[in-house]
Structure 1
Amino acid sequence: MLFVPSGRWLTGSFNLTSHITLFLDKDAVILASQDPSDWQVVDPLPSYGQGVDLPGRRYMSLINGHMLHDVIITGDNGTIDGQGLVWWDRYNSNSLEHSRPHLIEFVSSENVFVSNLTFLNAPAYTIHSVYSRNVYIHNVTANTSPESPYTVGIVPDSSENVCIQDSTINMGYDAISLKSGWDEYGISYARPTANVEIRNVYLGAASGSSISFGSEMSGGISDVEVSNAHIYNSLTGIAFRTTKGRGGYMKEIDISNIHMVNVGTAFLANGSFGTHPDSGFDENAFPLVSHIRLHDIVGENISIAGDFFGTKESPFTSIILSNISLSIKNSDSPADSWQCSYVDGSSDSVVPEPCPELKSFDSDYGRAEAL
């Protein structure tokens, strides 16, 4: 065990080992250095090909695990503060030398447990699990400023058997974002994100989505269950993002028992979203988006119910909506609450009534129930 007592402890990036428990005592605060020289610079992830913020290498995360197993990061509600303002300013002023670091990152690791901690001011992602399995995140709080650029809470990335529960996350961009690689690099690496459970969470996303899939999803995302989520003060509630050249798939996703309050767009599925790492992507790598079920959802003070924009080459199919009731701000024109193109599915008991492509209730729903 590495025990961190009460007090404020300044550090640059460091590595963990297998079979370790990092424990933060009550009132213990780990502070991330704001000096870039205290952060190691490492190669980009192979499923991305380059740093996410800009081409080239990236700063190593504050707390790192590489090819580890049986690791616990926990405490008596201690705090890990990334002091991200300096990184956000560098991002906004285009003065970064390398892509920003995250707070915690596990690479090619298994049996990872994170619990009972508060995370503040991540430079980019708060918790990033990549090429990992058996990751359990429980009872954590993660916050950044609403103005922080493209900060994300928890990111299961090309990882399997992930559980996120009983946590509160408020971020500048996305609260929880599932990913699996970027264009030709993610397709080649071929490591999906699969078997993910998200439950009993409170999520806010000032300029992004409380729960997002993609847009970097070239290795595939499947078999995801989200339940009992409270979504509030978010630009978008639930988003599926991809674009031509991504390849991959998003399928077998079930989202239920959601309560939304003060959300711009409740549901977004956009087939023309995101950028490419370079010009090497395959223009004919069309992503598959299919078998997504949204049900038992209530929303208050919602601006737009749903935008579903597939592509002509690869329409979104088997989108199933049921038992959804959304209170729209401008209730005088409910027809404007949904926009659809190149999408096919069905619905039952949805208010306001969705667009024609999603209105029909047919045997597709029964097949989705059986999946």
Structure 2
Amino acid sequence: MGKATSGGQNFAATDSCSNVRIEDCYIVSGDDCVAIKSGWDEYGIAYGMPSQHIVVRRLTCISPTSAVIALGSEMSGGIQDVRAEDITAFGSESGVRIKTAVGRGAYVRDVYVRRMNLDGMKWVFWMTGSYKSHPDDKYDPNAIPVVDGISYSEVVARNVTTAARLEGIPNAPFRGICISNVTVALAKPSKMPWYCADVEGISSGVTPPACAPITDEGAVAEPCPFPADPLPMDQLAFHQCIYTAS
């Protein structure tokens, strides 16, 4: 289990961790502010320990060359049940980034993000299935990662170059993407504010409108989901202790 509650100059990383709470942090980083990983290619597959049940709350991030929250690219043990909310970021490359590639195997699923306030992004949302770095040439080319159940809602972003770049894997698209109540103000007009390939999902209340594979459902009563059930780390409380030496 893990918990981070203080500000600092370094990024927070989890690798093959369960029941993690990261909250009330101010992070300035030359890499991803929060990086969630679970092993690399065949080694991560063999170890088989996912990162799961992770909460990120009330985070303020500055990361000029990387992401506010990154999942992968080392995710071969799986990543699931990640919940992030009340995120503020300035001058960062991307808001949420999912990185994987053929040879990784496993999955990134059940990722929920809501209430992001962003300023000065290259991309708000970025997914890629072609992050082609490998530790060696022993990876399995038939180990195809699954990306499914990714939910973004209540996002406001200003001074953005491109709203999103969503690239899945040919013949293995990223599915179950849901984007709702998102407003992106571009720094300059763009003929292609969204770029999508090999992805499937739905959207509602998104400006500028999402790309065609993220189908516009119009106004819906139920926006993208965010789990209401508490995680074990939500029940954990820390108490201040005073010790006096005699």
Q: Note if 1:320 corresponds to 2:187.
A: no
The structure 1 residue matched to 2:208, chosen from 352, 362, 365, is: 352
For the aligned residue pairs, the C-alpha RMSD in angstroms reads 1.8
Question: How far 1:208 sits from its partner (Å)?
Answer: 1.1
Number of residue equivalences: 226
Q: 1:221 aligns with which of 76, 79, 96?
A: 79
Task: Say whether the 8 Å CA contact 2:16–2:51 is kept in structure 1.
Answer: yes
Per-residue deviation, 1:367? 10
AA aligned opposite 2:192: D
Amino acid at match of 2:59: V
Q: Tell me what 2:103 maps to.
A: 245
Segments of structure 2 that go 5 or more residues without pairing to the other structure are: 228-246
- The match for 1:189 among 47, 67, 78 is 47
Tell me the amino acid that sits aligned with residue 250 of structure 1. V
Task: Report the 3-state secondary structure (helix = DSSP H, G, I; strand = E; otherwise coil) of the residue aligned with 2:136.
Answer: coil
Q: Which residue of structure 1 aligns with residue 163 of structure 2?
A: 305
What amino acid is the match of 2:112? Answer: D
Q: Is the Cα contact below 8 Å between 1:353 and 1:359 reproduced in 2? A: no
1:264 aligns with 2:122: yes
* Contact map agreement 2:113 2:226 (CA 8 A) in 1: no
Q: Does the 8 A contact of 2:31 with 2:65 survive in 1?
A: yes
2:3 aligns with 136
What percentage of residue pairs aligned between the two structures are identical? 31
More helix by share: 1
Structure 1: gaps of 5 or more residues: 1-133, 144-152
Look up the equivalent residue of 2:134 and give its one-letter code: H
Q: Assess, with a 3 A threshold, how the Cα gap between structure 1 residues 365 and 221 changes in structure 2: closer, same or farther.
A: farther
- Which residue number corresponds to residue 279 of structure 1? 137
Partner AA of 2:213 in structure 1:
E
Q: TM-score by structure 1 length? A: 0.59
Structure showing greater Rg: 1
TM-score normalized by the length of structure 2: 0.88
Q: Does 1:369 align with 2:236?
A: no
**Which residue is equivalent to 2:37?**
179
* Segments ≥4 residues shifted beyond 4 Å: 364-368
Amino acid at match of 2:144: F
Q: Which has the higher contact order (CA 8 A, sep 6+)?
A: 2
- Tell me by how many angstroms 1:365 deviates: 9.8
Which residue of structure 1 lines up, in the alignment, with residue 26 of structure 2? 168
- Distance in 2 between residues matched to 1:273 and 1:213, nearest whole Å: 12
Q: Could you say what secondary structure the match of 1:184 adopts?
A: helix
Amino acid at match of 1:353: P
Matched, 1:342 2:209: no
